[in-house]
Every structure is written in structure tokens, then in C-alpha cells.
């Protein structure tokens, strides 16, 4: 007789007890029983009473919701843009023995009669996406819903992109799994804390082997999981730990269009102030007042352009938000006014946590009006952040958001602050392993009344929403500038993002490249990183290479934890493993000696030269949802080689960037996609579809301009609004294809552009190599008149010696550029319509 293993017996006994303690149900649909059509939605019911609601929003956007008993289905969503206006697209339904088919002009949605598995095909019948298994839900008596899950086929050759700021070893999502749960991930990767990170964006794009692209957005705010064939079984899954399965299928067919459609669905921000795209300097922490003044003075003395300075938490009175430390900043209004006179905007940090203090007016207001998050029995949620005892506003309540927004009035109208930086809003809680609230904390959630399990991932988003509304209200006539750490899909409507507390090492420089591109194609184009790294110190080389990469990130901010005050003793659990950064460990552009000061100045000046191009790309993002940063493969998704080009990216429509991200490298291999490209630095013409070895001395970052592009260049100024521009330069890169470029201009501040006070110029370039001629036309719309009175045109790559130039029928003098004899230059009127070179 075999002996009984006591440990196994004990384990079996425990499992038996667990089964008795709760009962788990696993549910999936069986055969279709019936269906009905109501307006834009097809309601499909299975024989075991699982309902699939298929809503046709546009010919390319179809929403699927699975509803079971006990669910609380609703059309409410924090993610979907309030002004999303679907066109009520026409569609038809048809039943066969095998499928129920829903057909639009662009898509065919096929639902299996057997088990309600869903397939999507394009209008020609080519399969795009297919369920590998039926929808699945797991729930129990004691825990409720613990999983809603979709399993899709992941055929060989399908590649996945997006999902927000996720980081990988090779830049590829395929073969990996991730979760979305907003987390205070200080120094992520020091202890392999690479996932989850600060924000949750449950949206990805897939490109099939044939080049067809589609996207999936799961609109569910619970903790979610995405698996891109990590088990190598050719399946892709996405699931959430509660709520309804609610996802959108978004067709391209090209990947940039997928992102545009998703961003139209979830919204875009307003145009930022032009200064928001300039260079920003930040540190934990600049104080006292004299140190801030010295910082500003040094920028101007060294003639390094800068538009904004940040004040971290140490400007506050003992971490009380919306207060000032009078010893460190005795007259903040005068300081901010003086900085403004010198061209610096001031941005201050505001955290969500409110210090528990009976003498603190804001705490008393929130307590009196019942504005703070509570436990189920009504007890306040109190936890340590920077103050040892902190309470947290419930931003899912409209009244709380209104109150919070009005708290900014003094900062904006009295002190003159220009922008705000919301931090710690995952929400972060110190000293506990979870780093955040318990799951059972209650939230208003627009009257629905939910637990933190559902509200956690949108907490930071709703804080940003409240801040944004308050800033816009109390900084009247000016465009809001708001930066946030935590967010959710749709939060791009309210705030810019930075990637959080990164590390000053070469690996995190690579992450900076990957994360910002990934965020941009996930709807968040206004992104950047802490240039140079937040934790630890960069070398001179690393800082310069990071600064060069930052030129091409819409948010251009240098930030470090160079912290040297008593507050350094108040640290997060992870921070305890880091040495304190001493007061002389600075990270300003002049920190690394004269050689690097000169280089870093020229790097920042290049950013200011490219501001016209970036501002135009931002306008296109606002109007059409077009991501400013894109993977190289988005330029031509059928180019197999470009899929593997993980260390290059597209910046707008016409520039490919090839940053240097390896220590000691003074050159790099760069794959250029199809077409022809010019090296911006040398004007050398390079053939696409090939890999090129390009030089990259420490003073330069390689980037390439697509042939046929008209690239607008701005005059370098010490800050964006230092003076009215006197000159617009247009670099015209010769090509053999008809090409379009754009230039968007307005006041750079305020909202008159919404009333027509803007200028959008469409340039069309075409050439005739046989006749040795080219034509450049300019069509303009809008009432804005730029201040410059001259346009200088630089013709680059011209394959013939020009005999003459006509601008609107009048002869114009042309000559070779003194800086580059291969470039021909001439000047024309700012309102020119047609230029002919022959």
C-alpha cells in the first residue's frame, strides 16, 4: 500500500476548503438563438443568454460589447471623446448556415452561428482578424467578475504596435505580455519593474503579413492584460479583471490611418502655446528664489534658448498643494513676473494628495464638502505620500473637479504661473507594496458608485481633466499647458505626458526612443522624457545624445532628481536603494564643460529652427489625429525591412530620425525606406530601400528629409516670442514625384485661430527632369498675416544648372549659397503663389 504524503494531503485539503469557500463559473456563448437590429446596433443573443452588441459607428469602426446577467452595460465612457460624431454608416445584415454577417462599405463582420466567434474581413473578403476562441468570462460568488477575455488568432508575420509606453528588449510587442495598471514605477527596471508603468492605454495596432493594418481598443478601465503570442501558439489575447468586455475594431488599411481613427474616437488636445514646444528646464528642486533667478540669468548670458522653468514640490509650504514656502519664495508674484520679462514661463507642480492638517484651508474645504475618497464604511482613505498623512480628492465626481479647477485661480491670476505639472496621480501611496489605494476604496464615478478596481486607471486622467478645465477657466485668453504622469486612453485631450522616473543610462535612452514613438501611435503625440535621465547622473556624452533625441520629441524637457534638501529623507521604497544626488550634481546644458556647452547650445538651437515644422505637425495631429512620431514601418508597412528598423522613426510626414543610442558610437547604420532622402546635415541624396552607413560625430544627430519636401525653418531666438520673425526659410528638396508639404502659422497663443486667425499653406512641388524645370505652388487659407516680410528659398539637390527663376511671373535673382555651393538661394514675397525654376 502506497504511503500518503502529508504535505500533498494538506495541500489537497486546503484546495478543497477553497473550493467550498467560493464557487467559480466560466461562461462562453454557444449557438446564436436570435438577433435584432436597432438603429446602429445589432443585438445578437446566444442560446445560453449571452448577448453580443455590435454597433457600427463608421464604415471602419465597429464596437463589440458582451453582456451577461449581472452586468451594468452603459454607453458612458471616460475614454471616448464627447464630440466624437459617428456618421451613422449604412450597413446590412445577412444570415447563412454558418455566419451572421454585418457588412459596411469597408468591413465585413462575421459572427459564427455555432459559438459567436467573430471575424473581420475587408470589403474584398480578405481576412483581417479572427477569434481563435469564443469570448470567455470568469466569475465567482465571492469575487464577482474576475476575467473577461478575447482570444484572437495571431498568424505568423503579424506585427503589433502601440499599447502606450510599454518597453521591450527588441522594440517588438510580439512574443510578450503586458498589464495595464497605473503604477508609480520609480527607476523602472532597476529591480526589473518594467511593467506595469505609469499609464494605461489599452489600444494596439496590428499589421498583417500582407500589409493590411487594423487596431483594437478595449474600453475597460479595470486592470487589463494583453498577450501578443508570448506562448508561441499564434494567439493574441486581451482581458480585464472586471466589467464588461467592450472593444472597438478599427480598420486602416494603413497603420497611420488606424491611429488617426482611434484618436478621432478618443479625442485630440487643443493646440499648445508655442512656448510649450520650446526647451524646458526642470529639476527636483530649484530653490530658493535666488537660485531660480541665477538659473534664468545663466541661460540668457550663455545664449542657450529656453522657454520654461519648473518649480518642483519644494516651492510649497511643507507639501501643502496650492501654497508657497515664504522663506524660499518670499514674493513669488514678482519672481514670476521678472522671469516673464526675460522670456521664461513658470510651471509649478501640483500633486493630488492633500495634507491632513486642521489649519490647512484646502483640507478643511474638502472635508466639509465630502470631497475625499473613502473606504466602504465611510472612513477616509488616508495614506503617506510626501506628507505623512494625505487624503485624496475623488476626481470622478463633477463637483470635486469643479472645486479642484477653481483652486488654480490664485496661481494663475494672482501669481502669474503659466502652466501646471500634475505628478503622483496614479494615485501613488508610499510605504505599501501595492503603491496605491486598496481595491475597495469607493469612487463616485459620475454617480455610478464603483470601487477603486474600476476607477484606479482613470484617477490620474480625471485629475488632469479637472486641472485642465481650471487652467483654461482662470488663465483666460491663454492656451492651457498641463503635464501629467498618469493617464488613460482619451486623456490626451487634457494633458501632455512624460515617461516618468527614468534612469541616466544608455538603456533608458533606447527606452526613450521606443516609449515616445509607442505613445504617439497610441493617441498621445504630446510626449517626451526626462532628458538626461531622472535617476543618477548622465555622462557628458549620454546627456548630449539624449538632448539630440529630445529635439524630435514634442515635449522637450530636461529633468533630474538632483535633490539636496531635507525632503530627500522622505523617499519611496524603491528610492531607498539610490544614493542621494548632491547639490553640485546639476544637469543644465552647460554642466559638462565648454566643449559640450557649445554642442548642447547648437542642439537646442536646431530645435528652435524646426519649430515651424513641429507646430505644423502638431496642428495636423489636433485636426486629424495624425501621430507626430511613428515607427519607420508606418511609412511603408509592406516594406519587410522597415519592420526591423526599431532605432529610427518618422517625425511628422517628411523627416526620418536616426538617433545615436550607443555609447561611444560616432556613426551608425540606417535603413531608409522606399523613395529618396536627403541628409539634412550634408544635403547628400541617398537612395531608399537600402541600409546606409552614416557618420554621427558627437555634435550631430543624423536625420533625413524626404525628396520633394518643402521644409520650413524658423529663426533662432532665445525664446519663442522674443521678437517678431523677420524671415521665413524654405528648404526645397528636389524630387521627381509630385509632393505636398504644409506650413501652419498663427499667433502661437490664445484662441483667435479658432475664429479664422491662422494661415495654413499647402505647398505643391513638381518637377520635369526632361525639360529641366520645377514648379512650386502655394495655396493659403486663413486670415493670419505673418510678421516676416521675406521668404528665402533654398533649392537643394537640383540636378541642373538653373537659368532663371520666376515668382508669380516676375523674374527673381538666384545665386549659389555661400554656405553650400550645391544649394541655390533666392528671396520672394511672403504671399507668393507660384515659383517656376528653369
**In this predicted model, what pLDDT tens digit does every residue of 189-217 receive, in sequence order?**
754 558 999 999 999 999 999 999 999 99
Which pLDDT value is given to residue 646?
84
501, 530, 679, 729: which is the annotated catalytic residue? 501
Between CA 382 and CA 388 the distance in angstroms is: 9
Which pLDDT value is given to residue 14?
63
Adjacent-strand bridge partners of 391:
354
Which pLDDT value is given to residue 581?
35
Contact assessment for residue 347 and residue 418, using Cβ atoms and an 8 Å cutoff? yes
Between CA 829 and CA 780 the distance in angstroms is: 14
Which pLDDT value is given to residue 573?
41
Between CA 53 and CA 42 the distance in angstroms is: 6
Q: CB neighbours of 610 closer than 8 A, spacing ≥ 6?
A: 551, 713, 714
| Unique residue bearing C-alpha cell 505623512 | 388
CB-count exposure of residue 520 (10 Å: 0-12, 13-18, 19+): buried
60, 227, 426, 679: which is the annotated catalytic residue? 426
HSE on the CB side for 273, CA within 13 Å?
21
Beta strands in 297-365 (DSSP E): 308-311, 345-350, 354-355
Ranges in the chain, pLDDT < 50 = 1-2, 191, 564-584
Which pLDDT value is given to residue 18?
61
Q: What are phi and psi of 757, to 5 degrees?
A: -85, 70
* DSSP-based three-state secondary structure for 760: strand
219, 229, 260, 423: which is the annotated catalytic residue? 423
Q: Which region holds residue 666: left if phi is over 0, alpha if psi is between -120 and 50, else beta?
A: alpha
**In this predicted model, what pLDDT tens digit does every residue of 703-716 receive, in sequence order?**
999 999 999 999 99
Contact assessment for residue 184 and residue 425, using Cβ atoms and an 8 Å cutoff? no
Between CA 193 and CA 156 the distance in angstroms is: 30
Pairing of strands 127-140, 24-27: antiparallel
Length of the chain: 838
Angle between helices 289-301 and 332-341 (to 10 degrees): 0
Which pLDDT value is given to residue 826?
97
HSE on the CB side for 52, CA within 13 Å?
34
Which pLDDT value is given to residue 645?
85
Question: Can 423 be counted among the known catalytic residues?
Answer: yes
Predicted structure pTM score: 0.95
C-alpha cell belonging to residue 242: 472586471
Question: Can 501 be counted among the known catalytic residues?
Answer: yes
Which pLDDT value is given to residue 819?
80
Q: CB neighbours of 367 closer than 8 A, spacing ≥ 6?
A: 391
Amino acid at each position: 500500500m502506497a504511503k500518503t504524503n502529508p504535505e500533498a494531503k494538506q495541500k489537497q485539503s486546503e484546495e478543497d476548503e477553497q473550493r467550498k469557500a467560493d464557487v467559480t463559473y466560466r461562461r462562453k456563448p454557444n449557438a446564436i438563438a436570435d438577433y435584432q437590429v436597432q438603429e446602429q446596433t445589432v443585438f445578437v443573443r446566444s442560446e445560453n443568454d449571452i448577448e453580443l452588441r455590435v454597433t457600427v459607428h463608421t464604415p471602419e469602426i465597429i464596437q463589440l460589447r458582451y453582456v451577461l446577467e449581472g452586468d451594468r452595460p452603459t454607453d458612458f465612457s471616460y475614454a471616448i471623446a464627447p464630440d466624437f460624431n459617428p456618421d451613422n454608416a449604412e450597413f446590412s445584415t445577412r444570415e447563412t448556415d454558418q455566419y451572421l454577417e454585418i457588412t459596411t462599405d469597408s468591413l465585413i463582420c462575421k459572427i459564427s452561428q455555432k459559438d459567436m466567434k467573430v471575424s473581420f474581413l475587408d470589403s474584398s473578403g480578405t481576412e483581417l482578424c479572427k477569434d481563435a476562441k469564443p469570448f470567455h468570462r470568469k466569475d465567482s460568488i465571492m469575487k464577482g467578475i474576475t476575467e473577461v477575455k478575447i482570444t484572437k488568432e495571431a498568424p505568423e508575420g503579424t506585427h503589433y504596435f502601440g499599447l502606450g509606453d510599454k518597453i521591450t528588449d527588441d522594440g517588438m510587442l510580439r512574443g510578450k505580455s503586458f498589464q495595464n495598471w497605473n503604477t508609480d514605477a520609480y527607476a523602472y527596471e532597476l529591480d526589473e519593474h518594467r511593467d506595469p508603468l505609469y499609464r494605461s492605454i489599452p489600444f494596439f495596432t496590428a499589421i498583417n503579413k500582407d500589409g493590411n493594418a487594423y487596431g483594437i481598443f478595449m474600453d475597460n478601465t479595470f486592470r487589463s492584460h494583453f498577450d501578443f503570442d508570448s506562448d508561441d501558439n499564434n494567439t493574441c489575447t486581451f482581458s480585464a479583471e472586471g466589467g464588461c468586455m467592450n472593444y472597438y475594431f478599427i480598420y486602416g488599411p494603413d497603420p497611420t490611418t488606424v491611429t488617426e481613427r482611434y484618436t478621432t474616437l478618443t479625442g485630440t488636445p487643443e493646440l499648445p502655446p508655442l512656448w510649450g514646444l520650446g526647451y524646458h528646464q526642470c529639476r527636483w528642486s530649484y530653490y530658493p528664489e535666488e537660485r531660480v533667478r541665477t538659473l534664468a540669468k545663466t541661460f540668457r548670458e550663455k545664449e542657450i534658448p529656453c522657454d520654461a522653468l519648473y518649480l518642483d514640490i519644494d516651492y510649497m509650504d511643507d507639501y501643502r498643494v496650492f501654497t508657497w514656502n515664504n522663506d524660499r519664495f518670499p514674493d513669488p508674484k514678482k519672481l514670476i513676473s521678472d522671469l516673464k520679462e526675460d522670456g521664461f514661463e513658470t510651471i509649478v507642480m501640483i500633486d493630488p494628495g492633500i495634507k491632513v492638517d486642521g489649519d490647512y484651508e484646502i483640507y478643511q474645504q474638502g472635508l466639509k464638502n465630502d470631497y475625499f475618497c473613502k473606504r466602504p464604511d465611510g472612513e477616509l482613505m488616508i495614506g503617506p505620500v510626501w506628507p505623512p498623512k494625505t487624503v485624496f480628492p475623488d476626481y470622478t465626481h463633477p463637483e470635486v473637479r469643479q472645486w479642484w479647477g477653481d483652486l488654480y485661480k490664485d496661481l494663475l491670476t494672482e501669481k502669474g504661473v503659466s502652466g501646471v505639472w500634475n505628478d503622483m496621480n496614479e494615485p501613488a501611496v508610499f510605504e505599501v507594496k501595492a503603491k496605491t489605494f486598496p481595491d475597495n476604496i469607493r469612487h463616485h464615478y459620475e454617480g455610478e458608485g464603483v470601487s477603486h478596481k474600476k476607477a484606479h486607471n482613470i484617477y490620474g486622467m480625471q485629475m488632469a481633466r479637472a486641472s485642465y478645465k481650471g487652467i483654461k477657466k482662470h488663465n483666460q485668453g491663454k492656451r492651457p499647458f498641463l503635464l501629467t504622469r498618469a493617464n488613460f486612453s482619451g486623456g490626451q485631450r487634457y494633458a501632455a505626458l512624460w515617461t516618468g522616473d527614468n534612469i541616466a543610462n544608455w538603456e533608458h535612452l533606447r527606452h526613450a526612443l521606443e516609449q515616445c514613438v509607442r505613445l504617439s501611435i497610441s493617441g498621445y503625440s504630446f510626449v517626451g522624457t526626462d532628458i538626461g535621465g531622472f535617476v543618477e547622473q548622465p555622462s557628458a556624452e549620454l546627456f548630449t545624445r539624449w538632448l539630440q533625441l529630445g529635439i524630435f520629441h514634442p515635449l522637450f524637457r530636461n529633468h533630474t532628481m538632483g535633490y539636496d534638501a531635507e525632503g530627500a529623507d522622505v523617499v519611496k521604497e524603491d528610492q531607498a536603494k539610490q544614493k542621494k544626488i548632491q547639490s553640485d550634481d546639476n544637469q543644465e546644458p552647460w554642466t559638462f564643460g565648454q566643449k559640450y556647452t557649445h554642442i548642447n547650445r547648437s542642439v537646442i538651437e536646431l530645435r528652435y529652427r524646426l519649430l515651424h515644422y513641429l507646430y505644423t505637425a502638431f496642428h495636423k495631429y489636433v485636426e486629424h489625429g495624425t501621430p507626430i512620431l511613428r515607427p519607420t514601418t508606418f511609412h511603408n508597412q509592406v516594406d519587410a525591412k522597415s519592420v526591423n528598423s526599431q532605432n529610427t522613426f518618422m517625425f511628422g510626414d517628411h523627416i526620418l530620425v536616426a538617433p545615436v543610442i550607443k555609447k561611444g558610437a560616432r556613426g551608425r547604420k540606417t535603413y531608409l525606406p522606399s523613395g529618396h532622402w536627403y541628409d539634412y546635415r550634408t544635403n547628400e541624396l541617398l537612395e531608399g530601400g537600402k541600409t546606409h552607413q552614416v557618420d554621427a560625430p558627437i555634435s550631430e544627430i543624423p536625420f533625413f528629409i524626404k525628396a520633394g519636401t518643402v521644409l520650413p525653418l524658423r529663426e533662432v531666438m532665445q525664446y519663442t516670442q522674443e521678437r517678431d520673425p523677420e524671415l521665413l526659410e524654405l528648404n526645397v528638396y528636389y524630387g521627381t514625384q509630385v509632393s505636398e508639404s504644409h506650413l501652419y502659422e498663427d499667433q502661437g497663443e490664445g484662441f483667435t485661430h479658432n475664429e479664422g486667425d491662422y494661415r495654413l499653406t499647402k505647398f505643391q512641388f513638381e518637377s520635369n527632369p526632361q525639360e529641366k524645370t520645377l514648379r512650386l505652388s502655394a495655396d493659403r487659407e486663413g486670415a493670419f498675416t505673418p510678421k516676416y516680410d521675406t521668404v528665402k528659398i533654398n533649392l537643394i539637390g537640383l540636378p541642373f544648372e538653373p537659368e532663371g527663376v520666376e515668382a508669380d511671373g516676375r523674374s527673381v535673382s538666384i545665386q549659389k549659397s555661400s554656405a553650400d555651393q550645391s544649394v541655390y538661394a533666392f528671396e520672394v514675397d511672403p504671399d507668393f503663389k507660384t515659383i517656376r525654376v528653369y
